[in-house]
């Protein structure tokens, strides 16, 4: 039976700089590209955000941050028109400031 140890057998022959570069390269594979939005999707998200602000409804936002998409669930506390950011308070009382350009999806949540 062949007992292959995979990457372990090769790391002893590699320089630490090479090992670091390989780890960074593997990490970069998990990055996601920011998707462009069409007009229909933007109009739909505008309606959802307006309804959530007017009636203080809970909302689920997917936004692009740090080369990945993140999910925030909470209510819209404030709209900063000058900075073009939404201030969202999540269920734990933490405030998230999300740029309007970074929002990929908006949905009302049922609570």
Residue 56 maps to which CATH number? 2.30.30.520
Q: Which residues partner with 44 through β-bridges?
A: none
State the residue range of the domain holding 48: 39-108
In order along its 111 residues, the chain shows pLDDT tens digits of: 566 666 666 666 778 888 898 888 888 888 888 888 889 999 999 999 999 999 999 999 999 988 889 999 999 998 999 999 999 999 899 999 999 999 999 999 976
Confirm whether 88 is domain-assigned.
yes
Q: Are 67 and 76 in contact (CB under 8 A)?
A: no
Confirm whether 18 is domain-assigned.
no
Domain count, the chain: 1
Cα 89 to Cα 18, 84, 86, distances in angstroms: 43, 17, 10
Is residue 37 packed enough to be buried (19+ CB in 10 Å), middle (13-18) or exposed (0-12)?
A: middle
The model's pTM is 0.70
Q: Are 79 and 53 in contact (CB under 8 A)?
A: yes
């Amino acid at each position: 039976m062949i007992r292959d140890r995979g990457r372990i057998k090769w790391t002893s022959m590699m320089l630490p700089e090479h090992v670091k570069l390989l780890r960074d390269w593997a990490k970069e594979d998990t990055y996601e590209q920011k998707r462009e939005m069409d007009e229909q999707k933007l109009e739909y998200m505008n309606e959802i955000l307006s309804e959530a602000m007017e009636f203080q409804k809970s909302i689920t936002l997917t936004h692009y941050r740090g080369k990945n998409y993140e999910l925030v669930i909470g209510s819209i506390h404030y709209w900063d028109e000058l900075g073009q950011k939404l201030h969202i308070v999540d269920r734990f009382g933490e405030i998230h400031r999300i740029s309007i350009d970074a929002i990929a999806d908006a949905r009302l949540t049922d609570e």
